[in-house]
Amino acid sequence: MKTLQILMSTYNGAEYIREQLDSLLEQDCEKYAKASFQIQIRDDGSVDGTQDILEEYAVRYPGKLHWYQGENVGVIRSFFELLSRADEADYYAFSDQDDYWMPDKMTSAIERLETMTKEKPALYCCRPKLVDQKLQPLTSEIERPPMRPGFCNAMIENIVTGCTAVFNRVMRDMIARELPQFTVMHDWWLYLTAVCFGEIYYDETPHICYRQHQGNVLGTKTKRMDEWKMRLKRFRGNRGNISHQLEEFVRIFGQTEPDNENIKLAVKFLEVRKSFVARSRFLKESGIYRQRPEDDRIFHIILLLGNY
């Protein structure tokens, strides 16, 4: 039987965490995908009763659910610490504290991963279904990425929603060998690693209810003017972060994988910051792209200005 580690980071999540834990425990992968699973939880210093709920579930499900309290380090470092401390398994999955997994989420992921590479990193992710605080479906939805996943996209954009990500041991070991000192988000690092060295599969069918509330809002279809405002705000917020993240990616993997064509492309992307002419040539020759034409046009301007 295959083994799976579900890794969850919590912080003041008492309001919704019971529903999420119940949905994890009701996964049908043991029956349909022949995969047993354990839930490993790191609490990032909650003060709202989350830890009491975690202890309650740990007592009710010994051997199935484990948790520990860590220092307050933020969501990115919390997930990476979980990854580095995780037990050996065939597959690993990230889980947020306030969503709701459909019973077939892990079955769908494992069945797909079983058809993918075993020697290289393999990543599965899916499109989330947007729901309100009471898990009722919203009329808005997450648009599927219209373009193919790839490293030329991953350098400048992330399409992986972390709470849908499931990946193999090779990928876990590659990332855990040296954790990044900086990344925009942990799921973006997954995307970069998968498309640089292995495979990714984006499932257009939702297998997770992504709860929308005040502290957790994912991009959806909006009015055109609001959409442009959101785009510009997002680009301004990421100014410098794209380069910083790629510098870290090259630092970690450039020495062990110097002949990798994607690593060479990332190095080139960083080098052309020094010259407008070089940036113009890179834009024409590299094949770099964002998923949507509007975002692509904005990033072309940002790249030409060197503000990335």
Percent of the chain predicted with pLDDT > 90? 87
3-state secondary structure of 51: helix
Q: Is residue 218 in a domain?
A: no
67-110 pLDDT, tens digit per residue, is 999 999 999 999 999 999 999 999 999 999 999 999 999 999 99
Q: How many domains does the chain have?
A: 2
Instruction: Examine the domain organization and report whether 37 and 109 are in the same domain.
Output: yes
Q: Is residue 46 in a domain?
A: yes
Q: Is residue 216 in a domain?
A: no
Is the confidence at residue 292, as pLDDT, over 70? yes
Instruction: Examine the domain organization and report whether 228 and 129 are in the same domain.
Output: no
Taking residues 288-296, what's their average pLDDT?
Answer: 94
- At residue 140, the pLDDT reads 87
Instruction: Examine the domain organization and report whether 200 and 232 are in the same domain.
Output: no
Residue 231, domain extent = 224-305
Instruction: Examine the domain organization and report whether 47 and 174 are in the same domain.
Output: yes
- At residue 69, the pLDDT reads 98
- At residue 223, the pLDDT reads 52
Q: Decide: residue 137, CB within 10 A, 0-12 exposed, 13-18 middle, 19+ buried.
A: exposed
Instruction: Examine the domain organization and report whether 106 and 251 are in the same domain.
Output: no
* Domain termination residue (choose one: 151, 181, 211): 211
Instruction: Examine the domain organization and report whether 154 and 288 are in the same domain.
Output: no
* Domain termination residue (choose one: 172, 189, 211): 211
CB-CB contact of 106 with 35 (8 Å) = yes
Q: Which of 195, 33, 186 is nearest to 121 (CA)?
A: 195
Q: Is residue 217 in a domain?
A: no
Instruction: Examine the domain organization and report whether 244 and 300 are in the same domain.
Output: yes
CB-CB contact of 203 with 126 (8 Å) = yes
Instruction: Examine the domain organization and report whether 130 and 192 are in the same domain.
Output: yes
Q: Is residue 125 in a domain?
A: yes
d(CA 75, CA 176): 16
Give buried/exposed letters for 49-66 (b at 16+ CB in 10 A, else e): ebbebbeebbeeeeeebb
Is the confidence at residue 114, as pLDDT, over 80? yes
Q: Is residue 261 in a domain?
A: yes
Q: Is residue 9 in a domain?
A: yes
d(CA 265, CA 120): 20
d(CA 97, CA 164): 12
Q: Is residue 10 in a domain?
A: yes
- At residue 307, the pLDDT reads 85
3-state secondary structure of 27: coil
Residue 277: other Cβ atoms inside 10 A: 8
d(CA 228, CA 16): 32
Taking residues 185-191, what's their average pLDDT?
Answer: 98
pLDDT band at 219 (very low <50, low <70, confident <90, very high): very low
Is the confidence at residue 171, as pLDDT, over 90? yes
* Domain termination residue (choose one: 177, 211, 245): 211
pLDDT band at 213 (very low <50, low <70, confident <90, very high): confident
Instruction: Examine the domain organization and report whether 89 and 237 are in the same domain.
Output: no
- At residue 245, the pLDDT reads 98
Instruction: Examine the domain organization and report whether 233 and 201 are in the same domain.
Output: no
- At residue 76, the pLDDT reads 98
Instruction: Examine the domain organization and report whether 278 and 175 are in the same domain.
Output: no
246-290 pLDDT, tens digit per residue, is 999 999 999 899 899 999 999 999 999 999 999 999 999 999 999
CATH code of residue 10: 3.90.550.10
Instruction: Examine the domain organization and report whether 204 and 256 are in the same domain.
Output: no
CB-CB contact of 153 with 143 (8 Å) = no
User: Which residues, 6+ apart, have CB-to-CB distance to 18 below 8 Å?
Assistant: 53
